């Protein structure tokens, strides 16, 4: 029987760490699908990839990685873009953004809900933050009023957003970029779940065409099962390049050449299998498993963002009669790890998100179904416990 560590730090990462030791881990959103099954040829080429990483100069490898990433996602604007750095993780990229924003004394508007480590990293850097409700982000008029009234220097959005899957398409993104241009606001985009878009969007081209100051951070760890060997592409407009690059070089010399070469090989293999459509088929298989098994259970799957195929699910838990923390604790005793909804509301977790949990789908192929079945059984047992309590109470009354 597992017990949670007591929510000492009141954050999602603490609970993801707990999930690493749980038998049925549905907590963290990293990719753990079978590399052997889906990308076996890459694994067999690892010695050759090592040799290639040794032979290629680091700057050339970084450009190769950027351009291969751009090819995979049809990002011609990124292919043409030359101001970028490569970090080991997306959290490293966010930390650099925080250090840069604090050095400028900028006030940053950050979407809510979203994964709470964005706010944590920015606050640790003492960045002044304003919460931007997700419903405001998708309403151009409301967003413009908020940006103007709060006197924001930068707008930080996550697209598609984690955990809801709300995604801005090319038209909506163009509207946001126009807004930033009118108000001289820097646009910061976390596109870690880019591969979950159902339609292509090239933010780099839109931003460059409009001449808006921007920062875009990418992540490979949500898609490819590389045992957390990953990279985060951090791109920025020319006017921000010198300041951000200086901060980067204070922390990093470079990202691992071997990591980049392995990721490039994973991208090449994915392209051979059909590219994004192949990855979407894997995600949809697990979505259908979860939908089928959790139908008519105590939780309801919320499709908040229908324009994205998210690798995480936002579950309404009101029928359980428990709060998100209570249900998370109960499931932990069943060896099932999930994330409570409240901490995604980084600015208002005292009152928001208590009726939701989040589960992740990119789990080992042979374990995802068993994890969902264990979750289902735990919910059935919870319903029986609740029914017995109600019956006993009725008899007493």
Helix, strand or coil, per DSSP, at residue 277: helix
Rounded distance, CA 43 to CA 265, Å?
9
Taking alpha carbons only, the member of 355, 354, 352, 358 closest to residue 337 is 358
> Is the per-residue pLDDT at 308 higher than 90?
no
Percent of the chain with pLDDT over 90: 91
- Per DSSP (E only), the strands in the chain are 24-25, 84-87, 107-112, 128-133, 154-158, 186-190, 214-217, 232-236, 300-302, 312-316, 336-337, 339-340, 356-360
Cα-based angle 21, 23, 25 (whole degrees, multiple of 5): 75
How, if at all, do strands 128-133 and 107-112 pair?
Answer: parallel
> Is the per-residue pLDDT at 305 higher than 80?
no
How, if at all, do strands 24-25 and 356-360 pair?
Answer: unpaired
Q: How far is CA 361 from the centre of its chain?
A: 12
pLDDT level of residue 393 (50, 70, 90 thresholds):
low
> Is the per-residue pLDDT at 268 higher than 80?
yes
Bigger pLDDT: 7 vs 337: 337
Number of CB atoms found within 10 A of residue 241's CB = 15
Percent of the chain with pLDDT over 70: 95
Helix, strand or coil, per DSSP, at residue 151: coil
How, if at all, do strands 24-25 and 336-337 pair?
Answer: parallel
Handedness of CA 123, 129, 131, 137 (dihedral sign): negative
Q: Give mean pLDDT, residues 211-227.
A: 97
pLDDT in tens, 154-202: 999 999 999 999 999 999 999 999 999 999 999 999 999 999 999 899 9
Residue 1: what pLDDT?
A: 39
> Is the per-residue pLDDT at 391 higher than 80?
no
Residue 154: what pLDDT?
A: 98
Rounded distance, CA 377 to CA 25, Å?
15
Residue 271: what pLDDT?
A: 98
DSSP 307: T
> Is the per-residue pLDDT at 8 higher than 60?
no
> Is the per-residue pLDDT at 338 higher than 90?
yes
Taking alpha carbons only, the member of 163, 288, 305, 283 closest to residue 225 is 283
Residue 387: what pLDDT?
A: 77
pLDDT in tens, 62-86: 999 999 999 999 999 999 999 999 9
Rounded distance, CA 72 to CA 268, Å?
8
Query: CA–CA distance from 313 to each of 176, 199, 271, 341, 382 (Å)?
Result: 26, 20, 26, 11, 20
Q: 387 Cβ partners below 8 Å, 6+ apart? A: none
> Is the per-residue pLDDT at 396 higher than 70?
no
Mean pLDDT of all residues in the chain?
Answer: 94
Number of CB atoms found within 10 A of residue 298's CB = 21
Q: What domains lie within the chain, and their CATH numbers?
A: 12-29+275-396 (3.90.1150.10), 40-272 (3.40.640.10)
> Is the per-residue pLDDT at 10 higher than 80?
no
Q: What is the pTM of this model?
A: 0.95
pLDDT in tens, 356-368: 999 999 999 889 9
> Is the per-residue pLDDT at 40 higher than 70?
yes
Cα-based angle 189, 94, 98 (whole degrees, multiple of 5): 105
pLDDT in tens, 92-137: 999 999 999 999 999 999 999 999 999 999 999 999 999 999 999 9
Q: Give mean pLDDT, residues 9-27.
A: 90
> Is the per-residue pLDDT at 4 higher than 90?
no
How, if at all, do strands 312-316 and 356-360 pair?
Answer: antiparallel
Q: CA-CA-CA-CA torsion for 129, 131, 137, 141, nearest 10 degrees?
A: -90
Residue 392: what pLDDT?
A: 66
> Is the per-residue pLDDT at 314 higher than 70?
yes
Order of all β-strands in the sheet with 232-236: 84-87, 232-236, 214-217, 186-190, 154-158, 107-112, 128-133
């Amino acid at each position: 029987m597992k017990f949670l560590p007591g929510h000492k730090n009141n954050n999602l990462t603490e609970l993801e760490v707990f999930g690493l030791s749980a038998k049925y881990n549905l907590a963290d959103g990293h990719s753990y699908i079978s590399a052997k099954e889906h990308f076996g040829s890459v694994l067999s080429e690892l010695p050759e990839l090592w040799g290639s990483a040794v032979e290629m100069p680091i700057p050339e490898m970084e450009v190769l990685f950027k351009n291969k990433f751009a090819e995979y996602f049809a990002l011609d604007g990124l292919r043409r873009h030359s101001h970028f750095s490569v970090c080991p993780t997306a959290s490293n990229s966010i930390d650099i953004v925080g250090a840069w924003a604090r050095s400028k004394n900028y006030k940053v508007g950050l979407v809510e809900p979203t994964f709470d480590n964005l706010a944590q990293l920015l606050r640790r850097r003492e960045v002044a933050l304003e919460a931007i409700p997700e419903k405001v982000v998708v309403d151009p008029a409301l967003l413009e009023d908020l940006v103007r009234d709060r006197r924001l220097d930068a707008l930080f959005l996550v697209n598609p957003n984690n955990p809801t899957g709300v995604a801005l398409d090319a038209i909506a993104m163009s509207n946001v970029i126009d807004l930033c241009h009118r108000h001289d606001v820097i646009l910061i985009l976390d596109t870690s779940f880019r591969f979950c878009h159902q339609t292509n969007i090239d933010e780099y081209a839109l931003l460059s065409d409009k001449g808006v100051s921007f920062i875009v951070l990418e992540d490979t760890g949500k898609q490819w099962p590389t045992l957390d060997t990953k990279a985060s592409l951090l791109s920025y407009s020319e006017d921000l390049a010198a300041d951000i690059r200086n901060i980067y070089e204070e922390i990093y010399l470079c990202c691992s050449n071997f990591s980049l070469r392995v990721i490039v090989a994973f991208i090449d293999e994915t392209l051979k299998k059909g590219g994004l459509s192949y990855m979407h088929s894997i995600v949809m298989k697990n979505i259908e498993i979860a939908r089928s098994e959790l139908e008519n259970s105590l939780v309801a799957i919320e499709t908040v963002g229908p324009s994205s195929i998210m690798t995480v699910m936002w579950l309404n838990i009101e029928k359980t009669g428990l709060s998100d923390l209570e249900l998370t604790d109960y499931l932990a005793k069943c060896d099932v790890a999930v994330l409570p909804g409240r901490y995604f509301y980084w600015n208002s977790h005292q009152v928001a998100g208590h009726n939701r949990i989040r589960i992740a789908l990119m789990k080992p192929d042979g374990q995802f179904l068993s994890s969902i079945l264990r979750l289902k059984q735990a919910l059935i047992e919870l319903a029986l416990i609740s029914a017995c309590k109600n019956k006993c109470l009725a008899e007493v009354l």
